[in-house]
Structure 1
Amino acid sequence: MTKIIYAVISILLVMGFKSSPTYAAEPNNEEYPLDFHIEMLHWEKVNKILPRYSIFTVIDVETGKSFRVQRRAGQHHADVQPLSKKDTKIMKEIYNGHWSWRRRAILIQTDTKLIAASMHGMPHGAGALDNGFNGHFCIHFKGSVTHHSEKSDLSHQVMIHKAGGTIDDFIRDLTPEQLTTAFLVFIKNNDQGLVQKVAITNKQNANKEVKKINNIESINWKLVSVNEPNLFALEADIPVEVNLLVKNIGPVKTKIPFHLIRTSPISPWKINMDPLIKLTKK
Protein backbone atom coordinates (compact mmCIF):
# COMPACT_ATOMS: atom_id res chain seq x y z
CA MET A 1 0.00 0.00 0.00
CA THR A 2 2.85 2.37 0.87
CA LYS A 3 4.44 1.80 -2.54
CA ILE A 4 1.13 2.63 -4.25
CA ILE A 5 0.89 5.90 -2.31
CA TYR A 6 4.48 6.77 -3.23
CA ALA A 7 3.74 5.99 -6.88
CA VAL A 8 0.72 8.29 -6.93
CA ILE A 9 2.69 11.09 -5.26
CA SER A 10 5.50 10.62 -7.78
CA ILE A 11 3.11 10.97 -10.72
CA LEU A 12 1.66 14.15 -9.27
CA LEU A 13 5.12 15.59 -8.68
CA VAL A 14 6.34 14.72 -12.16
CA MET A 15 3.30 16.24 -13.91
CA GLY A 16 3.74 19.84 -14.79
CA PHE A 17 7.43 19.98 -15.66
CA LYS A 18 9.40 18.78 -18.65
CA SER A 19 13.00 17.73 -18.85
CA SER A 20 15.40 16.76 -21.61
CA PRO A 21 15.92 13.03 -22.06
CA THR A 22 18.70 11.38 -20.15
CA TYR A 23 20.41 8.11 -20.86
CA ALA A 24 21.95 5.53 -18.59
CA ALA A 25 24.99 3.58 -19.60
CA GLU A 26 24.41 -0.13 -20.01
CA PRO A 27 26.20 -2.01 -17.23
CA ASN A 28 28.74 -4.64 -18.08
CA ASN A 29 26.91 -7.91 -17.47
CA GLU A 30 29.99 -10.09 -17.65
CA GLU A 31 30.22 -12.35 -14.62
CA TYR A 32 33.17 -11.96 -12.31
CA PRO A 33 35.85 -14.56 -13.07
CA LEU A 34 35.17 -16.14 -9.66
CA ASP A 35 32.06 -17.65 -8.15
CA PHE A 36 32.62 -18.73 -4.53
CA HIS A 37 31.01 -18.00 -1.20
CA ILE A 38 32.44 -14.60 -0.28
CA GLU A 39 32.45 -13.24 3.26
CA MET A 40 32.52 -9.58 4.27
CA LEU A 41 34.33 -9.99 7.57
CA HIS A 42 35.06 -7.13 9.96
CA TRP A 43 38.68 -6.16 10.47
CA GLU A 44 38.59 -7.36 14.09
CA LYS A 45 38.02 -10.92 12.83
CA VAL A 46 40.35 -10.63 9.85
CA ASN A 47 43.14 -9.38 12.12
CA LYS A 48 43.03 -12.74 13.90
CA ILE A 49 42.61 -14.83 10.75
CA LEU A 50 45.58 -13.13 9.04
CA PRO A 51 48.15 -12.52 11.79
CA ARG A 52 51.48 -10.83 11.18
CA TYR A 53 53.77 -12.82 8.85
CA SER A 54 50.87 -14.91 7.53
CA ILE A 55 50.91 -15.69 3.80
CA PHE A 56 47.78 -15.61 1.66
CA THR A 57 46.52 -15.04 -1.90
CA VAL A 58 45.14 -11.80 -3.33
CA ILE A 59 42.67 -12.20 -6.22
CA ASP A 60 41.79 -9.18 -8.34
CA VAL A 61 38.02 -9.22 -8.92
CA GLU A 62 38.01 -7.67 -12.40
CA THR A 63 40.87 -9.57 -14.02
CA GLY A 64 40.86 -12.78 -11.98
CA LYS A 65 44.65 -12.53 -11.67
CA SER A 66 46.12 -13.60 -8.36
CA PHE A 67 49.37 -13.26 -6.46
CA ARG A 68 50.77 -14.20 -3.06
CA VAL A 69 51.53 -11.74 -0.28
CA GLN A 70 52.76 -11.69 3.29
CA ARG A 71 51.33 -9.48 5.98
CA ARG A 72 54.18 -7.61 7.64
CA ALA A 73 52.44 -5.04 9.85
CA GLY A 74 49.35 -2.87 10.22
CA GLN A 75 47.19 -2.13 13.25
CA HIS A 76 43.99 -0.88 11.61
CA HIS A 77 44.40 -2.61 8.25
CA ALA A 78 46.90 -5.02 6.71
CA ASP A 79 50.27 -3.74 5.50
CA VAL A 80 51.46 -6.41 3.08
CA GLN A 81 54.18 -7.13 0.54
CA PRO A 82 54.22 -9.33 -2.57
CA LEU A 83 55.91 -12.59 -1.64
CA SER A 84 58.30 -12.76 -4.61
CA LYS A 85 59.41 -10.88 -7.71
CA LYS A 86 56.96 -12.99 -9.70
CA ASP A 87 54.12 -11.84 -7.44
CA THR A 88 55.23 -8.22 -7.81
CA LYS A 89 55.14 -8.62 -11.60
CA ILE A 90 51.58 -9.95 -11.51
CA MET A 91 50.44 -7.14 -9.23
CA LYS A 92 51.94 -4.54 -11.56
CA GLU A 93 50.18 -6.18 -14.52
CA ILE A 94 46.88 -5.74 -12.66
CA TYR A 95 47.65 -2.01 -12.52
CA ASN A 96 48.46 -1.94 -16.25
CA GLY A 97 52.19 -1.57 -15.64
CA HIS A 98 51.99 1.57 -13.48
CA TRP A 99 51.87 1.74 -9.69
CA SER A 100 48.82 3.67 -8.53
CA TRP A 101 46.92 4.76 -5.42
CA ARG A 102 43.67 3.75 -7.12
CA ARG A 103 41.69 1.22 -5.14
CA ARG A 104 40.70 -2.14 -6.58
CA ALA A 105 38.19 -4.72 -5.40
CA ILE A 106 39.96 -7.90 -4.33
CA LEU A 107 39.30 -11.21 -2.62
CA ILE A 108 41.60 -12.64 0.02
CA GLN A 109 41.92 -16.41 -0.22
CA THR A 110 43.04 -18.39 2.80
CA ASP A 111 42.90 -22.14 3.32
CA THR A 112 39.26 -21.95 4.40
CA LYS A 113 37.89 -18.52 3.50
CA LEU A 114 37.34 -16.02 0.70
CA ILE A 115 37.15 -12.50 2.16
CA ALA A 116 36.06 -9.26 0.45
CA ALA A 117 38.71 -6.54 0.58
CA SER A 118 40.27 -3.57 -1.22
CA MET A 119 43.85 -2.69 -2.11
CA HIS A 120 45.77 0.18 -3.63
CA GLY A 121 48.80 -0.32 -5.83
CA MET A 122 51.44 2.10 -4.59
CA PRO A 123 54.66 0.93 -2.89
CA HIS A 124 55.39 3.08 0.15
CA GLY A 125 57.03 2.89 3.55
CA ALA A 126 59.21 0.03 4.67
CA GLY A 127 59.71 -3.31 2.94
CA ALA A 128 61.71 -6.34 4.01
CA LEU A 129 61.30 -8.99 1.30
CA ASP A 130 63.50 -9.54 -1.75
CA ASN A 131 60.61 -9.07 -4.15
CA GLY A 132 61.41 -6.05 -6.33
CA PHE A 133 58.70 -4.06 -4.52
CA ASN A 134 60.02 -0.93 -2.85
CA GLY A 135 57.97 -0.92 0.36
CA HIS A 136 54.53 -2.28 1.19
CA PHE A 137 50.92 -1.65 0.16
CA CYS A 138 47.68 -1.59 2.12
CA ILE A 139 44.70 -3.93 2.17
CA HIS A 140 41.49 -2.74 3.83
CA PHE A 141 38.54 -4.78 5.06
CA LYS A 142 35.13 -3.91 6.42
CA GLY A 143 35.72 -1.73 9.47
CA SER A 144 39.31 -0.86 8.55
CA VAL A 145 40.59 2.69 9.01
CA THR A 146 43.73 4.51 7.92
CA HIS A 147 46.72 4.60 10.26
CA HIS A 148 47.07 8.38 10.37
CA SER A 149 43.48 9.66 10.46
CA GLU A 150 41.96 6.53 12.03
CA LYS A 151 38.95 7.16 9.79
CA SER A 152 37.30 4.86 7.29
CA ASP A 153 38.49 5.34 3.70
CA LEU A 154 35.39 5.54 1.50
CA SER A 155 37.35 4.61 -1.63
CA HIS A 156 38.38 1.34 0.01
CA GLN A 157 34.95 0.66 1.53
CA VAL A 158 33.25 1.05 -1.86
CA MET A 159 35.60 -1.52 -3.35
CA ILE A 160 34.97 -3.89 -0.44
CA HIS A 161 31.24 -3.72 -1.22
CA LYS A 162 32.03 -4.40 -4.87
CA ALA A 163 34.15 -7.42 -3.96
CA GLY A 164 31.48 -8.69 -1.59
CA GLY A 165 28.64 -8.36 -4.10
CA THR A 166 26.76 -5.79 -1.99
CA ILE A 167 27.50 -2.65 -4.01
CA ASP A 168 23.92 -2.32 -5.32
CA ASP A 169 22.50 -2.35 -1.79
CA PHE A 170 25.13 0.20 -0.76
CA ILE A 171 24.23 2.55 -3.62
CA ARG A 172 20.46 2.18 -3.21
CA ASP A 173 20.38 3.79 0.23
CA LEU A 174 22.61 6.81 -0.49
CA THR A 175 21.37 10.38 -0.12
CA PRO A 176 22.11 12.88 -2.94
CA GLU A 177 25.22 14.17 -1.14
CA GLN A 178 26.42 10.64 -0.41
CA LEU A 179 25.79 9.50 -3.98
CA THR A 180 27.70 12.50 -5.35
CA THR A 181 30.66 11.59 -3.15
CA ALA A 182 30.42 7.94 -4.19
CA PHE A 183 30.28 8.93 -7.87
CA LEU A 184 33.47 10.98 -7.49
CA VAL A 185 35.11 8.06 -5.69
CA PHE A 186 34.20 5.83 -8.66
CA ILE A 187 35.80 8.41 -10.96
CA LYS A 188 38.90 8.58 -8.76
CA ASN A 189 39.25 4.80 -8.91
CA ASN A 190 38.61 4.87 -12.68
CA ASP A 191 35.91 2.24 -12.24
CA GLN A 192 33.69 2.54 -15.30
CA GLY A 193 31.42 -0.28 -14.16
CA LEU A 194 30.48 1.54 -10.96
CA VAL A 195 30.11 4.87 -12.78
CA GLN A 196 27.60 3.16 -15.08
CA LYS A 197 25.52 2.14 -12.08
CA VAL A 198 24.91 5.69 -10.84
CA ALA A 199 25.46 8.08 -13.76
CA ILE A 200 23.18 9.37 -16.51
CA THR A 201 23.83 11.67 -19.45
CA ASN A 202 21.93 13.78 -21.97
CA LYS A 203 24.05 12.23 -24.72
CA GLN A 204 22.62 9.27 -26.63
CA ASN A 205 25.79 7.15 -26.45
CA ALA A 206 26.08 6.85 -22.68
CA ASN A 207 28.73 4.13 -22.75
CA LYS A 208 30.97 6.32 -24.91
CA GLU A 209 30.63 9.16 -22.41
CA VAL A 210 31.57 6.89 -19.49
CA LYS A 211 34.81 5.89 -21.23
CA LYS A 212 35.90 9.53 -21.20
CA ILE A 213 36.65 9.26 -17.48
CA ASN A 214 39.92 7.65 -18.61
CA ASN A 215 41.07 11.20 -19.40
CA ILE A 216 40.85 12.15 -15.72
CA GLU A 217 44.26 11.33 -14.26
CA SER A 218 43.48 12.59 -10.76
CA ILE A 219 40.61 14.29 -8.96
CA ASN A 220 40.02 15.95 -5.59
CA TRP A 221 36.81 17.59 -4.46
CA LYS A 222 34.90 19.37 -1.74
CA LEU A 223 31.12 19.35 -1.46
CA VAL A 224 29.58 22.75 -0.83
CA SER A 225 27.15 22.57 2.07
CA VAL A 226 23.51 22.41 0.99
CA ASN A 227 20.21 21.46 2.57
CA GLU A 228 19.15 17.88 1.98
CA PRO A 229 16.03 17.63 -0.24
CA ASN A 230 12.80 16.51 1.39
CA LEU A 231 11.87 12.83 1.45
CA PHE A 232 9.58 13.12 -1.58
CA ALA A 233 11.90 15.20 -3.80
CA LEU A 234 12.69 13.81 -7.24
CA GLU A 235 15.49 16.27 -8.05
CA ALA A 236 18.47 17.66 -6.17
CA ASP A 237 21.42 19.92 -6.96
CA ILE A 238 24.76 19.36 -5.24
CA PRO A 239 27.49 21.96 -5.89
CA VAL A 240 31.03 20.59 -5.75
CA GLU A 241 34.41 22.29 -5.95
CA VAL A 242 36.69 20.04 -8.02
CA ASN A 243 40.38 19.96 -8.86
CA LEU A 244 41.21 17.78 -11.85
CA LEU A 245 44.29 16.74 -13.75
CA VAL A 246 43.06 16.01 -17.27
CA LYS A 247 45.08 14.20 -19.90
CA ASN A 248 46.33 16.54 -22.68
CA ILE A 249 44.75 19.52 -20.89
CA GLY A 250 46.41 19.82 -17.48
CA PRO A 251 45.03 21.11 -14.17
CA VAL A 252 41.40 22.20 -14.06
CA LYS A 253 39.82 23.89 -11.05
CA THR A 254 36.12 24.75 -11.08
CA LYS A 255 32.76 24.42 -9.35
CA ILE A 256 30.25 21.93 -10.74
CA PRO A 257 26.51 22.01 -9.90
CA PHE A 258 25.73 18.30 -10.17
CA HIS A 259 22.08 17.53 -10.89
CA LEU A 260 20.54 14.35 -9.48
CA ILE A 261 17.17 12.78 -10.23
CA ARG A 262 15.14 9.73 -9.32
CA THR A 263 11.91 8.32 -10.69
CA SER A 264 10.11 8.01 -7.35
CA PRO A 265 10.71 8.70 -3.65
CA ILE A 266 11.67 5.04 -3.16
CA SER A 267 13.99 4.83 -6.18
CA PRO A 268 17.78 5.27 -6.01
CA TRP A 269 19.27 8.59 -7.08
CA LYS A 270 21.12 9.03 -10.38
CA ILE A 271 23.67 11.76 -11.10
CA ASN A 272 24.13 13.61 -14.40
CA MET A 273 27.80 13.29 -15.31
CA ASP A 274 27.77 15.71 -18.27
CA PRO A 275 29.27 18.75 -16.45
CA LEU A 276 32.26 16.66 -15.37
CA ILE A 277 32.77 14.91 -18.71
CA LYS A 278 32.68 18.29 -20.45
CA LEU A 279 35.86 19.26 -18.59
CA THR A 280 37.77 16.39 -20.23
CA LYS A 281 37.40 17.92 -23.70
CA LYS A 282 39.59 20.63 -25.22
Structure 2
Amino acid sequence: MKYTLLTFILYLLPFSLDHQHTYASTVEYPPSPISFQIDMQNWDSIDESLPRKSTFTVIDVESGMSFDVQRRAGSGHADVQPLTKKDTKIMKAIYNGTWSWHRRAVLILAHDSSLIPASMHGMPHGAGALQNGFPGHFCIHFAGSTTHRTGKSDISHHVMILKAAGRIDEYMNNLPSSQLLNVFLVTIKNGDQGLAEKISISKHRNIKRELNKIEKIEAMQWSILQTKETDSSSSLVKEIPVEVKLFIKDRGPVKTNLTFTLVRASPISPWKVNIDPFLSSVK
Protein backbone atom coordinates (compact mmCIF):
# COMPACT_ATOMS: atom_id res chain seq x y z
CA MET A 1 0.00 0.00 0.00
CA LYS A 2 2.82 2.39 0.89
CA TYR A 3 4.52 2.00 -2.48
CA THR A 4 1.24 2.38 -4.38
CA LEU A 5 0.58 5.61 -2.50
CA LEU A 6 4.11 6.86 -3.09
CA THR A 7 3.86 6.16 -6.83
CA PHE A 8 0.59 8.08 -6.99
CA ILE A 9 2.07 11.03 -5.08
CA LEU A 10 5.09 11.20 -7.36
CA TYR A 11 2.76 11.18 -10.38
CA LEU A 12 0.77 14.15 -9.05
CA LEU A 13 3.70 16.10 -7.63
CA PRO A 14 4.50 18.08 -10.82
CA PHE A 15 0.85 19.11 -11.11
CA SER A 16 0.75 20.37 -7.53
CA LEU A 17 3.91 22.42 -8.13
CA ASP A 18 2.36 23.97 -11.24
CA HIS A 19 -0.52 25.30 -9.15
CA GLN A 20 1.30 27.05 -6.33
CA HIS A 21 -0.99 30.06 -6.59
CA THR A 22 -3.53 28.22 -4.42
CA TYR A 23 -2.70 28.49 -0.73
CA ALA A 24 -4.29 27.17 2.44
CA SER A 25 -3.12 25.65 5.69
CA THR A 26 -4.21 22.30 4.30
CA VAL A 27 -4.22 21.77 0.54
CA GLU A 28 -6.70 19.11 -0.54
CA TYR A 29 -6.73 17.53 -3.97
CA PRO A 30 -9.71 16.20 -5.94
CA PRO A 31 -11.07 12.78 -4.89
CA SER A 32 -9.05 9.89 -6.23
CA PRO A 33 -8.66 6.16 -5.59
CA ILE A 34 -5.86 7.10 -3.17
CA SER A 35 -6.20 10.46 -1.43
CA PHE A 36 -3.57 12.50 0.34
CA GLN A 37 -3.14 16.05 1.58
CA ILE A 38 -0.29 18.46 2.17
CA ASP A 39 -0.53 19.35 5.83
CA MET A 40 1.61 22.14 7.31
CA GLN A 41 2.37 20.91 10.82
CA ASN A 42 4.31 22.64 13.59
CA TRP A 43 7.43 21.08 15.06
CA ASP A 44 5.74 20.42 18.42
CA SER A 45 3.24 18.06 16.80
CA ILE A 46 5.90 16.53 14.53
CA ASP A 47 8.06 15.79 17.56
CA GLU A 48 5.24 13.62 18.90
CA SER A 49 3.99 12.04 15.67
CA LEU A 50 7.49 11.17 14.38
CA PRO A 51 9.29 10.14 17.59
CA ARG A 52 12.85 8.87 17.84
CA LYS A 53 13.42 5.53 16.10
CA SER A 54 10.39 6.11 13.84
CA THR A 55 10.84 5.64 10.08
CA PHE A 56 9.29 7.64 7.26
CA THR A 57 9.74 8.53 3.59
CA VAL A 58 11.37 11.73 2.33
CA ILE A 59 10.27 12.97 -1.12
CA ASP A 60 12.45 15.57 -2.83
CA VAL A 61 10.11 18.15 -4.37
CA GLU A 62 12.43 19.20 -7.20
CA SER A 63 13.41 15.76 -8.51
CA GLY A 64 10.56 13.58 -7.24
CA MET A 65 13.12 11.08 -5.89
CA SER A 66 12.36 9.49 -2.53
CA PHE A 67 14.15 7.53 0.17
CA ASP A 68 13.46 6.19 3.66
CA VAL A 69 14.99 7.51 6.88
CA GLN A 70 14.92 6.88 10.60
CA ARG A 71 14.79 9.66 13.14
CA ARG A 72 17.57 9.11 15.65
CA ALA A 73 17.62 12.29 17.73
CA GLY A 74 17.10 16.04 17.55
CA SER A 75 15.45 18.77 19.59
CA GLY A 76 13.97 21.66 17.66
CA HIS A 77 14.29 19.62 14.46
CA ALA A 78 14.78 15.99 13.44
CA ASP A 79 18.23 14.42 13.25
CA VAL A 80 17.79 11.53 10.83
CA GLN A 81 19.75 8.91 8.91
CA PRO A 82 19.03 7.11 5.64
CA LEU A 83 17.61 3.72 6.52
CA THR A 84 19.77 1.56 4.23
CA LYS A 85 22.73 1.85 1.86
CA LYS A 86 20.24 2.05 -1.00
CA ASP A 87 18.57 5.05 0.65
CA THR A 88 21.97 6.71 1.12
CA LYS A 89 22.69 6.22 -2.58
CA ILE A 90 19.37 7.82 -3.55
CA MET A 91 19.93 10.77 -1.23
CA LYS A 92 23.39 11.39 -2.66
CA ALA A 93 21.96 11.23 -6.19
CA ILE A 94 19.48 13.97 -5.21
CA TYR A 95 22.52 16.13 -4.43
CA ASN A 96 24.17 15.22 -7.75
CA GLY A 97 26.69 12.92 -6.13
CA THR A 98 28.17 15.47 -3.71
CA TRP A 99 27.19 16.02 -0.08
CA SER A 100 26.07 19.60 0.46
CA TRP A 101 24.70 22.01 3.05
CA HIS A 102 22.21 23.27 0.45
CA ARG A 103 18.65 23.17 1.73
CA ARG A 104 16.07 21.39 -0.40
CA ALA A 105 12.28 21.37 -0.24
CA VAL A 106 10.93 17.95 0.73
CA LEU A 107 7.65 16.30 1.64
CA ILE A 108 7.51 13.79 4.47
CA LEU A 109 5.16 10.87 3.85
CA ALA A 110 3.84 9.95 7.28
CA HIS A 111 2.16 6.69 8.26
CA ASP A 112 -1.29 8.31 8.14
CA SER A 113 -0.65 9.12 4.43
CA SER A 114 -0.39 12.86 5.08
CA LEU A 115 2.37 14.84 3.37
CA ILE A 116 4.25 17.23 5.65
CA PRO A 117 6.25 20.11 4.11
CA ALA A 118 9.83 20.19 5.33
CA SER A 119 13.40 21.12 4.41
CA MET A 120 16.56 19.03 4.50
CA HIS A 121 20.23 19.63 3.94
CA GLY A 122 22.57 17.03 2.50
CA MET A 123 25.67 17.09 4.68
CA PRO A 124 26.56 14.14 6.94
CA HIS A 125 27.76 15.31 10.34
CA GLY A 126 27.91 14.11 13.92
CA ALA A 127 27.26 10.53 14.94
CA GLY A 128 25.48 7.77 13.06
CA ALA A 129 24.26 4.38 14.27
CA LEU A 130 22.88 2.58 11.22
CA GLN A 131 24.81 0.36 8.81
CA ASN A 132 23.85 2.50 5.85
CA GLY A 133 27.08 3.86 4.40
CA PHE A 134 26.17 7.35 5.62
CA PRO A 135 28.89 8.89 7.84
CA GLY A 136 26.69 10.57 10.47
CA HIS A 137 23.23 12.10 10.33
CA PHE A 138 21.53 15.03 8.60
CA CYS A 139 18.80 17.47 9.63
CA ILE A 140 15.18 17.90 8.58
CA HIS A 141 13.38 21.09 9.61
CA PHE A 142 9.64 21.69 9.82
CA ALA A 143 7.49 24.75 10.47
CA GLY A 144 8.56 26.11 13.85
CA SER A 145 11.88 24.25 13.88
CA THR A 146 15.02 25.80 15.33
CA THR A 147 18.75 25.11 15.04
CA HIS A 148 20.83 23.60 17.84
CA ARG A 149 23.38 26.42 17.73
CA THR A 150 21.14 29.50 17.72
CA GLY A 151 17.82 28.23 19.04
CA LYS A 152 16.19 30.25 16.24
CA SER A 153 14.54 29.45 12.93
CA ASP A 154 16.87 29.03 9.94
CA ILE A 155 15.76 31.29 7.06
CA SER A 156 17.19 28.92 4.43
CA HIS A 157 15.10 26.05 5.79
CA HIS A 158 12.07 28.34 6.20
CA VAL A 159 12.09 29.26 2.50
CA MET A 160 12.33 25.60 1.46
CA ILE A 161 9.48 24.60 3.80
CA LEU A 162 7.25 27.20 2.16
CA LYS A 163 8.29 25.92 -1.26
CA ALA A 164 7.34 22.38 -0.27
CA ALA A 165 3.99 23.63 1.04
CA GLY A 166 3.19 25.50 -2.18
CA ARG A 167 3.20 28.87 -0.38
CA ILE A 168 6.46 30.36 -1.56
CA ASP A 169 5.00 32.62 -4.27
CA GLU A 170 2.53 34.21 -1.88
CA TYR A 171 5.28 34.69 0.69
CA MET A 172 7.78 36.32 -1.70
CA ASN A 173 5.18 38.48 -3.45
CA ASN A 174 4.28 40.20 -0.17
CA LEU A 175 7.74 40.89 1.24
CA PRO A 176 9.17 44.41 1.61
CA SER A 177 12.26 45.11 -0.46
CA SER A 178 15.05 44.33 2.03
CA GLN A 179 13.41 41.09 3.15
CA LEU A 180 12.91 40.00 -0.46
CA LEU A 181 16.58 40.71 -1.13
CA ASN A 182 17.50 38.50 1.83
CA VAL A 183 15.32 35.69 0.44
CA PHE A 184 16.92 36.15 -2.98
CA LEU A 185 20.37 35.69 -1.44
CA VAL A 186 19.08 32.60 0.37
CA THR A 187 17.95 31.09 -2.94
CA ILE A 188 21.42 31.74 -4.39
CA LYS A 189 23.08 30.16 -1.34
CA ASN A 190 20.84 27.10 -1.74
CA GLY A 191 21.59 26.89 -5.46
CA ASP A 192 17.87 27.08 -6.24
CA GLN A 193 17.84 28.65 -9.70
CA GLY A 194 14.09 28.21 -10.09
CA LEU A 195 13.24 30.30 -7.02
CA ALA A 196 15.90 32.88 -7.86
CA GLU A 197 14.41 33.32 -11.32
CA LYS A 198 10.95 34.01 -9.86
CA ILE A 199 12.16 37.18 -8.14
CA SER A 200 14.86 38.34 -10.58
CA ILE A 201 15.12 40.73 -13.49
CA SER A 202 18.04 41.09 -15.89
CA LYS A 203 19.06 42.94 -19.03
CA HIS A 204 19.95 39.54 -20.49
CA ARG A 205 17.24 37.78 -22.46
CA ASN A 206 18.22 34.32 -21.27
CA ILE A 207 18.04 34.77 -17.51
CA LYS A 208 18.19 31.02 -16.93
CA ARG A 209 21.57 30.84 -18.62
CA GLU A 210 22.83 33.73 -16.50
CA LEU A 211 21.65 32.02 -13.32
CA ASN A 212 23.70 28.95 -14.21
CA LYS A 213 26.65 30.96 -12.88
CA ILE A 214 25.50 30.35 -9.31
CA GLU A 215 26.63 26.73 -9.67
CA LYS A 216 30.16 28.09 -9.20
CA ILE A 217 29.33 29.37 -5.70
CA GLU A 218 30.45 26.85 -3.07
CA ALA A 219 29.86 29.02 0.02
CA MET A 220 28.28 32.39 0.66
CA GLN A 221 27.76 34.91 3.46
CA TRP A 222 26.28 38.39 3.35
CA SER A 223 25.34 41.37 5.44
CA ILE A 224 22.61 43.80 4.36
CA LEU A 225 24.03 47.16 5.39
CA GLN A 226 20.69 48.94 5.45
CA THR A 227 18.91 47.70 8.56
CA LYS A 228 15.73 49.79 8.59
CA GLU A 229 12.86 49.04 6.23
CA THR A 230 11.98 52.35 4.58
CA ASP A 231 9.73 51.37 1.67
CA SER A 232 7.23 54.11 1.05
CA SER A 233 3.81 53.27 -0.30
CA SER A 234 4.64 54.91 -3.64
CA SER A 235 8.31 53.92 -4.13
CA LEU A 236 9.02 51.84 -7.23
CA VAL A 237 12.82 51.63 -7.02
CA LYS A 238 15.00 50.76 -4.03
CA GLU A 239 18.79 50.51 -3.76
CA ILE A 240 20.22 48.41 -0.94
CA PRO A 241 23.96 47.99 -0.18
CA VAL A 242 25.19 44.52 0.76
CA GLU A 243 28.56 43.15 1.81
CA VAL A 244 28.98 39.75 0.17
CA LYS A 245 31.57 37.04 0.82
CA LEU A 246 31.76 34.21 -1.71
CA PHE A 247 33.87 31.14 -2.22
CA ILE A 248 33.87 30.46 -5.96
CA LYS A 249 34.94 27.19 -7.53
CA ASP A 250 38.37 27.38 -9.22
CA ARG A 251 38.76 30.97 -8.01
CA GLY A 252 38.66 30.98 -4.22
CA PRO A 253 37.34 33.60 -1.78
CA VAL A 254 35.83 36.84 -3.04
CA LYS A 255 34.70 39.74 -0.88
CA THR A 256 32.79 42.59 -2.46
CA ASN A 257 30.35 45.38 -1.68
CA LEU A 258 27.38 45.49 -4.03
CA THR A 259 24.38 47.76 -4.36
CA PHE A 260 21.31 45.80 -5.34
CA THR A 261 18.55 47.58 -7.23
CA LEU A 262 15.01 46.36 -6.59
CA VAL A 263 12.07 47.51 -8.69
CA ARG A 264 8.34 47.00 -8.87
CA ALA A 265 5.82 47.92 -11.55
CA SER A 266 3.38 49.63 -9.19
CA PRO A 267 2.97 50.27 -5.44
CA ILE A 268 0.96 47.05 -5.14
CA SER A 269 3.24 44.91 -7.31
CA PRO A 270 5.88 42.56 -5.87
CA TRP A 271 9.52 43.62 -5.77
CA LYS A 272 12.07 42.11 -8.17
CA VAL A 273 15.87 42.03 -7.82
CA ASN A 274 18.22 43.14 -10.60
CA ILE A 275 20.71 40.27 -10.60
CA ASP A 276 23.22 41.61 -13.14
CA PRO A 277 25.71 43.29 -10.73
CA PHE A 278 25.79 40.21 -8.51
CA LEU A 279 26.33 37.74 -11.34
CA SER A 280 29.07 39.96 -12.77
CA SER A 281 31.03 39.27 -9.59
CA VAL A 282 30.69 35.51 -10.14
CA LYS A 283 33.00 34.84 -13.07
Q: Indicate the residue corresponding to 1:269 in structure 2.
A: 271
Map residues 2-17 of structure 1 onto 2, 5 A cutoff. Answer: none
Deviation at 1:33, TM superposition (A): 3.9
Q: Which amino acid aligns with 2:226?
A: S
CA distance in structure 2 between the partners assigned to 1:149 and 1:34 by the alignment: 37
Q: Do the aligned partners of 2:176 and 2:231 also contact (CA within 8 Å) in 1?
A: no
Q: Which amino acid aligns with 1:51?
A: P
CA distance in structure 1 between the partners assigned to 2:236 and 2:153 by the alignment: 30
Residue by residue over 1:45-84, the C-alpha shift from the partner in whole angstroms, topping out at 9 and shown as x without a partner, is 1111101110000010111111110001111000001111
TM-score (norm 2): 0.86
Which structure would you say has the larger Rg? 1
Deviation at 1:252, TM superposition (A): 0.9
Secondary structure of the structure 1 residue equivalent to 2:64 = coil
CA distance in structure 2 between the partners assigned to 1:205 and 1:131 by the alignment: 42
Q: Do the aligned partners of 2:118 and 2:160 also contact (CA within 8 Å) in 1?
A: yes
Q: Indicate the residue corresponding to 2:105 in structure 1.
A: 105
Q: Which amino acid aligns with 1:76?
A: G
Question: Match for 1:254 among 253, 256, 267?
Answer: 256
Deviation at 1:201, TM superposition (A): 0.6
Deviation at 1:39, TM superposition (A): 1.2
Q: Which amino acid aligns with 2:167?
A: T
Residue by residue over 1:150-184, the C-alpha shift from the partner in whole angstroms, topping out at 9 and shown as x without a partner, is 01000000000000000001101111110111000
Q: Which amino acid aligns with 2:108?
A: I
Deviation at 1:247, TM superposition (A): 2.4
Identity %: 57
Q: Indicate the residue corresponding to 1:158 in structure 2.
A: 159
Q: Indicate the residue corresponding to 1:74 in structure 2.
A: 74
- Worse-matched range after superposition: 218-227 or 114-123: 218-227
Secondary structure of the structure 1 residue equivalent to 2:107 = strand
Q: Indicate the residue corresponding to 2:223 in structure 1.
A: 222
TM-score (norm 1): 0.86
Q: Do the aligned partners of 1:33 and 1:63 also contact (CA within 8 Å) in 2?
A: no
Q: Indicate the residue corresponding to 2:57 in structure 1.
A: 57
CA distance in structure 2 between the partners assigned to 1:34 and 1:156 by the alignment: 23
Number of residue-to-residue matches in the alignment: 251
Q: Indicate the residue corresponding to 1:9 in structure 2.
A: none
- Worse-matched range after superposition: 243-252 or 97-106: 243-252
Residue by residue over 1:172-226, the C-alpha shift from the partner in whole angstroms, topping out at 9 and shown as x without a partner, is 1111110111000000000010001101111222221122211222211011025
Deviation at 1:249, TM superposition (A): 2.3
CA distance in structure 2 between the partners assigned to 1:254 and 1:57 by the alignment: 42
Q: Is residue 83 from structure 1 mapped to residue 83 from structure 2 by the alignment?
A: yes
Deviation at 1:34, TM superposition (A): 6.9
Determine which structure has greater relative contact order: mean sequence separation of CA pairs < 8 Å that are 6+ residues apart, divided by chain length: 1
Q: Indicate the residue corresponding to 1:14 in structure 2.
A: none
Deviation at 1:109, TM superposition (A): 0.3
Q: Indicate the residue corresponding to 1:135 in structure 2.
A: 136
Q: Is residue 124 from structure 1 mapped to residue 125 from structure 2 by the alignment?
A: yes
Q: Indicate the residue corresponding to 1:177 in structure 2.
A: 178
Q: Indicate the residue corresponding to 2:32 in structure 1.
A: none
Unaligned runs of 5+ in 2: 1-11, 17-35
CA distance in structure 1 between the partners assigned to 2:128 and 2:207 by the alignment: 43
Q: Indicate the residue corresponding to 1:4 in structure 2.
A: none
Q: Do the aligned partners of 2:224 and 2:242 also contact (CA within 8 Å) in 1?
A: yes
- 1:34–1:45 Cα change, 3 Å: farther
Q: Indicate the residue corresponding to 2:3 in structure 1.
A: none
CA distance in structure 1 between the partners assigned to 2:272 and 2:160 by the alignment: 19
Secondary structure of the structure 1 residue equivalent to 2:38 = coil
